[in-house]
Structure 1
Amino acid sequence: MCVEAAPPPSSRMTRRGVLAAAAALAGTAAAVTPAAAASTGGGSPRGGDLVVEGGTLLDPATGEVTEDAVVVIENGTVRAAGARRDITVPSGAQVVEAHGKWILPGLVDAHIHLNTATEARDAVRQGATSARSGSTNFYQDIAVRELARQAPALAPRLKAAGVFVTPDLGDTVLADPDLTGLARLKDGVRSAEALRRVIEVNLARGADVIKTRVNERAGLPEQDPLAQVYSYEQLREIVTAARRGGKGVLCHSYAEQGCHDAVTAGIRSLEHGVFVGERTLAEMRRRGTYFTPTLSAIAGLAESSDPVLAERGRTYLPVLKRAVLAAHERGVPLAAGTDSSGGRVKPIGREIELMHSAGLSPLDAIRTATTGAARLLGLERTVGRLARGFAGDVVIADGDPLADVTVLKQPVRVVRAGIAL
């Protein structure tokens, strides 16, 4: 069977079956039982009613700091936020005291792999109340997205990427009957027809974005992260197919040539991008392409017990930090992403810390995980600020993040959609 002759992705019944299997793998079906939802206060998708009062409120959009602030949340949405003297607090409302603390909007992790309900919960409790998936093997991120919609206290608001568009799908071909035919392809997912097929199936299953790659992985010692796996023409095919479905593309990258091919092919955001060069940064600035450097992931390589990975981490991190600063100075939009995977969720506050260590001011580093990342996800009118009409997602920090961004690595309290965790 050639891919070109294959029928279009199957019916709604097949979609239901595939996503039911993804939910079982992710453990989200069990997580959203009435008992589990009630135990977290997340039983209603409308969100909760809550007042946060007494702390110092930071608006990342303006940099404005308001002391003795109040945030009023109704039905999971901010009704009012500002100085106590200007706001009437509803009588009888549940109150979270924040005296002596700082109040920020929930943070955004723009590159994370959420495979289970447990990982989703851990991400929220560490402050990532919104996120964008970096793909999963069996559509688990789509299941996590649905969990967040049904029980917002249990998972971040999520943009799901579905399965990875990569030459070798591996076991992912078992995820979906509409992908199994690709296992027969001698050269893997490389032809225009095969590339379109993976994207069409992703879109049929409900993916919000498309994830692909231009280089091999840095996290596998046997691979060369500078080796290019897709050409400009192949990347252009991916972008065109995604745009046809109204979706943007995030692209795993390392080498400058690969970065340049990906950006000029029209991707929405460049992921990792350690060796991105001046010509590509200039093109990113012109096009408005985002840079999600995932500094946490590269820093993590240096801690590996594998000598090859440890050396990569030590070598790559300073190079990537210079690239981040160069991008920032040239006006390339930045977004924070931890690239968490494998069951361990890194705090998004660690990525903010590394953005600051790369040369960004504390406020600009915070923006990469609030207003900047929100724009990348298309949520700039929903998350990234605590203002009327925005999501009732709050991070409470034990100290001034403008003086010490590390306080965001361990929030004192997190509120998700008006539900205090």
Structure 2
Amino acid sequence: MKMKLFVLGAMFGALGLAAGASAADKIVVVKAGKLVDVVAGKVLTDQTIVIEGERIAAVGPRASTAVPAGARVIDLSGATVLPGLVDAHTHLTGNPTQHGYASLGVSDIRSALYGAHAAKVTLEAGFTAVRNVGAGGFGDVALRDAINDGELSGPRMRVAGYALGIQGGHCDNNLLPHDFHYVEKGVADGPWAARAKVREMAKYGADVIKICASGGVLSKGDEPGAQQYTLEEMQAIVDEAHKLGRRVAAHAHGASSIRDAILAGVDSVEHASLIDDEGIKLARERGTYLVMDIYNDDYILQEGEKAGMLPESLAKEKALGQLQRDNFRKAYKGGAKMAFGTDAGVYPHGDNARQFRYMVQYGMTPMQAIQAATINAADLLGWKDRIGSVSVGKYADLIAVKGDPLADPAELTRVNFVMKGGAVVKDQAAGAR
């Protein structure tokens, strides 16, 4: 009996030591040589970030911010630290080498498995949160849940499930002949059918509702500038989604589809390639975010044919790409709110940060481009209280680069340190320990 008590006591003592060690390990201190304060829009030097568990407990100058005893110290004094980046328009289950007819041979299950790979690559590229605006088979819902449960490595995710659209439109699948009688599962024609489809997406786990207000580039048989959903249909979708606590993202290239989407009350307009002065004015007045993917034109025109994109898609992109970039400049100068989004999945996952160069080239300062991918995108996702800045109470989602991203936005394509929720995901930073 005494021996049993001795053994039990030893076991509980060991558990106590383990618990104590675990508690100490939960305090992490990051020493930042430079820290990009996206809220104030300036760079701070010699900062200390104290992290308890998943969240930031303190941020301040190194000289006046105490380092708790026993804390793990990560020395990034030779680097620039930023909040984790946010991409508000991704398709993590999309394979950029399997567009067009090649996509017909890919099952929803296979896409979801590919998404697990893409999620890891995206996180390691410095994007600690994404909004995934469309995936077959609710693959993005499954991916989000597996990440949240700690089974897979990946960013925080807001997900849409199937994108909603009209029969024969951009969000339908028009590659198969009539013999198959195939209609994509997000198709809903008419206001009440559209309301029912919103309810279905919410039922099966969608955080956000994605709609196709216009034709698209990579779809067959439609024109990007042509409106698809009507104002009445979009109003029904937005009303139903907002009642259910879901925001709405509208794929819209053409001016009329952009106008009606904003009038219907969508929370963001995606692409916005042919936005006109009226659309910019409406977006500014109503606080609608524009999410303009102005990098992927490069990939489509350079690699699209090899990736299986249809000849008509390449022709549409040639006609649209430069116009979208020029209208990005007009929208920015016109005072519209803008959030960072790239359409990842059209191009290889992990290359998201290549877009920063174009955002600066077409009008933004480097700080404004970074803000679009941090505080602005966090606000659009409905997570401004959780992510988007290095602030007390927010998740400890941090990245670091060796150089100065305000002098050269390309530095953000070379992220060498990533932390998500206080856990180090990637550490290639010189001097980190």
Residues 108, 348 of structure 1: 8 Å contact kept:
no
- Structure 1 residue 223 displacement after superposition: 3.5
Matches of 2:56 and 2:151 in 1, distance apart? 15
Does structure 1 residue 361 correspond to structure 2 residue 365? yes
Describe the SS at the equivalent of 2:78: coil
CA contact (8 A) 2:56 2:394 kept: yes
1:52 aligns with 2:30: yes
CA distance 1:373–1:387, shift in 2 (3 Å):
same
The one-letter code of the counterpart of 1:253 is A
CA distance in 1, matches of 2:27, 2:420: 11
Pairwise mapping of residues 243-258 of structure 1 onto structure 2 (< 5 A)?
243-258=242-257
What SS class does the counterpart of residue 119 from structure 1 fall into? helix
**Paired position in structure 2 for 1:179:** none
Q: Partners in 2 of 1:221 and 1:247 — Cα distance? A: 29
Q: CA deviation at 1:221?
A: 5.8
Please tell me whether residue 289 in structure 1 is matched to residue 293 in structure 2. Answer: no
Report the Cα offset of residue 95 of structure 1: 2.7
Residue 85 of structure 2: which of 107, 115, 140 is its match? 107
Against the structure 1 CA distance between its residues 66 and 392, is the aligned structure 2 distance closer, same or farther, given a 3 Å change threshold? same
Structure 2 counterpart of 1:158 = 157
Equivalent pairs, count: 365
Alignment-derived partner of residue 201 in structure 2: 202
Which one is further off, 47-56 or 387-396? Answer: 47-56
Bigger-Rg structure (1/2): 2
| Whole-angstrom distance in 1 between the partners of 2:152 and 2:384 | 21
User: 1:61-76 alignment to 2 at 5 Å?
Assistant: 61-76=39-54
Secondary structure at the aligned position of 2:129 is classed as: strand
1:106, CA displacement in angstroms?
Answer: 0.2
2-structure distance, mates of 1:372, 1:100: 27
- Alignment RMSD: 2.5
Cα distance, 1:302 vs structure 2: 2.1
Question: SS of the counterpart of 2:419?
Answer: strand
Q: 1:96 to 1:184 in 2, by over 3 A?
A: closer
Give 1:48 shift. 5.4
CA shift for structure 1 position 260:
0.9
Counterparts of 1:48 and 1:274 in 2: how far apart (Å)? 46
Residue from 390, 396, 408 that aligns with 1:392 = 396
The aligned runs of 1:198-277 (5 Å cut-off) are 198-220=197-219, 222-277=221-276
SS of match in other structure, 1:212: strand
Normalising by the residue count of structure 2, what TM-score does the alignment of the two structures yield?
0.79
2: CA distance between counterparts of 1:65 and 1:353? 19
Distance (Å, rounded) in 2 between the aligned partners of 1:410 and 1:153: 23
CA displacement 1:91-141 (0-9 Å, x = unmatched): 332332213210000000101112222111111111110111111111122
- Where structure 1 has 5 or more consecutive residues not aligned to the other structure, the ranges are 1-43, 172-181
Deviations 1:220-241 (A, max 9, x none): 4643212222111111121122
For the residues of structure 1 that align with 2:377 and 2:119, how far apart are their CA atoms? 18
Q: Percentage identity across aligned positions?
A: 29
State the distance in 2 between where 1:153 and 1:329 align: 41
Residue ranges of structure 2 left out of the alignment (5+ in a row): 1-21, 94-114, 174-180, 426-433
Structure 1 segments (4+ residues) deviating >3 Å: 168-171, 182-185, 220-223, 306-315
Separation of aligned partners in 1, 2:350 and 2:154 = 15
Which is further off, 299-308 or 68-77?
A: 299-308
TM-score by length of structure 1 reads: 0.81
Distance 1:50 1:299 in 2: 40
